[in-house]
Amino acid sequence: MLNIRIPATSANLGAGFDALGLAVSHYNYVRMEEADGLTIRSCDETAIPTDESNLVYISAQTVYLQCGKTLSGLVIEQENNIPMTRGLGSSSACIIAGMVGANMLLGQPMGIDDLVDLAATVEGHPDNTTPALLGGIVTSVLSGGRVHWVKQEVDEHLRFVALIPDFEMKTSEARACLPHLVPHRDAVYNLSRAALFSASLLSGKYENLRAAVGDRLHQPYRMPMIVKSQEVFDAAYAHGAYAVYVSGAGPTLMAIVSGEITDFVPCMRHELDMLGLTAWEILDLSIDNRGTEVIPDD
């Protein structure tokens, strides 16, 4: 049975709306093998679909169809550590797990670019699926069914601290609050900062990151949906964060922090409690530069 490890992802990174994403060290695990008929199990307490509406199964079947093969059935076992509908790429993890697993079961007829393209087509955009597959920070553009992408590795010294609210935010709802048109000046504002973010992160000029995560396309419209988000931003900066941004569609807020600041997490725990956000969870993470892997069973 294949054992697949898929990292969580954080997309947009402030100004890089639908174009930038990175993988972090928090993982879902999916075990998969061919079978006669479909059996799907949750290995934890997470409720998941156990029929053909399961996203891992749908994604695996998509690969079989793409390769002209018939899928008679699968055994799928899921360990879901990535919080669902929190802006950390839970759906992308399912898509990548199903596609990587199916491709392995078929003898790897699809290459990396094929999987990148197919996953983005299923998800609708590549900013989460591509780093989930490849790891690192990925700049990607979906054009005509093809993803044009560049992956770069990030210094593992940096910490990515996820501040996770105790409520869900579906991507469809988070997109519904966005305007259909934006002023030209706002587009220019974001283009310059998205370029600055990637260049600064990869060159080690981390002092630029606070300016680089400035955004006028999505965060000003989504932050009012996240209770006390501005206060959390302010607290994170007060305790030394290089940058804070809304992860994906939210509601998770992600702080980028130097590994030398050893008390950031307990300080933020105190700040959240003082703000009455006692149910928020904190995950202290690092970059995942490897992406999805098939790993040996223990």
pLDDT digits (tens, 9 = 90+) for 46-96: 899 999 999 999 999 999 999 999 999 999 999 999 999 999 999 999 999
Please name which of 102, 100, 145, 101 lies closest in space to residue 120, comparing C-alpha atoms: 145
Asked if residue 19 has pLDDT above 80, the reply is yes
Confidence of residue 168 (pLDDT cuts 50, 70, 90): confident
Give CA–CA dist 161/282, Å, rounded: 7
DSSP assignment of 27-52 equals: EEEEEEEE-SEEEEEESSS-----ST
- What pLDDT sits at residue 260? 96
Is 159-285 CATH 1.20.1090.10?
no
- What pLDDT sits at residue 298? 59
Please tell me the pTM assigned to this model: 0.95
Taking the domains of the chain in order of start, what are their residue ranges? 2-153, 159-285
Map tokens 């780093």 to a residue.
131
CATH code of the domain made up of 2-153? 3.30.230.10
